[in-house]
Amino acid sequence: MLVPVPEHFRAPVGDQASKLASKIGIEVRTQLPDLSICRWNKVHDADKKPMIQRLEDQFDLQGNPSDVARTLNTQFGRRLSSFTYRLHKQYKQLKDARGEEYARSHPPTSVTLNQWTSLIDKKWNSKEFMEQSLTNVNNRMQMKTKHRCGSKSIPVRVHSSIIANGEVPDLAKFYKSIHYNSNTHEWISSESQANYDNMIKTQAEHLSQTGVIPLSQEELSVKVLKPRSGYVKGLGLRPSSSMKTTVVPAENSDYVQRLEMQIAQQNEQIARFQKSEKKQSKKIQSIIECLTQKGITGNFENGESSDSDEQAS
């Protein structure tokens, strides 16, 4: 299964990206012996390598090798964090309802007793974990504009739009598509609606000036959603590893324009490749038909021929 990892996203995109994330989750839940490890980069290579190899056997991860490696590490880390977070919630619920001893001796079916007690002793009861957990809770409480992308991440959605339209999607329209529920006709939050309205207003005010061109999507992101180093907020875009670009104020920023030029060049290369492949396919088919007319038969697709073929040759 093909999963591209473009340098301007440094994240898995395409139709199979969600399957890759799902498979990584299965690997973490079923193959990682010690779940108490705080971070993926602390997992022993002896445990990592077989898991990564199984992924590479099933998925064709196309992209810069360093970007692919970074993407896999990020995905494994997120799946590990997500899984242990759910387990911790179950532990707290059992502990509150039945007591600590009961919770300790009754692990969920998804983990062994050794894994369960290791999580309790080595991770959840540690001072470092408790402090970090409190910090994470406070950070989550301050998040006011969560999106509703589901299993299709922002990079996947933006990449699909680029493939379909040949350009980066309009920031305001895309932002609304992942922050507004068209079924209930409600925004995820009042802050999300305010951001959208500000995007429309900012672009309109800019275009009201004489002789100006529309703000690029990156420029609009910087003005409304504020700059973030190496990342275009709202679109999931990242500069390539060769450019090392940091998002800067609008008057100095041309990253998205360069990205659109790269996309156009890639589309041209793909079109030329498809045209060449089509010609080659027709040529092979013509040769097969010619050989068939001369009485040379066989399984050409598998590279096999009959006795009559060998005699003819």
Q: Supply the DSSP string of 48-61, one letter for each residue.
A: HHHHHHHHHHH-EE
- Give dist(CA 255, CA 262) in Å, integer: 11
- Same domain flag for 160 and 207: yes
Task: For residues 22 and 43, state if they share a domain.
Answer: yes
Same domain, 174 and 246: yes
Q: Residue 263: CA atoms inside 13 Å, Cβ hemisphere, count?
A: 21
Query: What are the pLDDT tens digits along the chain (313 aa)?
Result: 999 998 888 889 988 999 999 999 999 999 999 999 988 999 999 999 999 999 999 999 999 999 899 999 999 999 999 999 999 999 999 999 999 999 999 999 999 999 999 999 999 988 888 888 888 878 777 776 777 777 788 888 888 888 888 888 999 999 999 999 989 999 988 999 999 999 999 999 999 998 889 988 888 988 898 777 777 888 888 743 333 333 333 333 455 555 666 666 666 766 676 777 777 777 787 777 777 777 655 544 444 444 444 444 4
Do 283 and 245 reside in the same domain of the chain?
A: no
**Residue burial 285-304, b: 16+ Cβ < 10 Å; e: rest:** eeeeeebeeeebebebeeee
Task: Calculate the alpha carbon distances from 107 to 86, 104, 151 in Å.
Answer: 12, 7, 28
Is the pTM for the entire model greater than 0.95? no
**Shared-domain flag, residues 39 and 133:** yes
Residue 147 falls inside a structural domain: no
Q: Which of 165, 269, 235 is nearest to 8 (CA)?
A: 235
Q: Clarify whether residues 40 and 70 are in a common domain.
A: yes
Rounded Cα gap, residues 100 and 122, in angstroms: 16
Per-state percent for the chain, helix, strand, coil, to nearest 5:
65, 5, 35
Query: How many domains is the chain built from?
Result: 3
Q: What is the DSSP string of 99-138?
A: -HHHHHH---TTS-HHHHHHIIIIIITSHHHHHHHHHHHH
Q: Which residues contact 87 (CB under 8 A, 6 or more apart)?
A: 35, 108, 110, 111, 116, 119
Q: Do 227 and 101 share a structural domain?
A: no
Is the domain of 268 the same as that of 291?
yes
Q: Which of 236, 272, 243, 276 is nearest to 258 (CA)?
A: 243
Domain boundary among the residues 79, 109, 142 is at: 142
Q: Note the pLDDT of residue 195.
A: 93
Exposure of 26 in the CB half-sphere (CA atoms within 13 A): 8
- Output the CA torsion sign for 124, 129, 131, 137: negative
- Contact call for residues 224 and 217 (beta carbons, < 8 A): no
Paired tokens of 223? 């003005």
Measured CA to CA, the distance from residue 154 to residue 158 in angstroms comes to: 6
Give the model's pLDDT for residue 131.
Answer: 84
Q: Does 15 lie in the same domain as 81? A: yes
Conformation bin of residue 153: beta by default, left when phi > 0, alpha when psi is -120 to 50: beta
Residue 181 is inside which H or E element, if any? strand 180-181
Write phi, then psi, for 228 (nearest 5 degrees): -140, 130
Kindly state whether residue 149 falls inside one of the protein's structural domains.
no
Same domain for 122 and 31: yes
Range of the domain at 218: 154-253
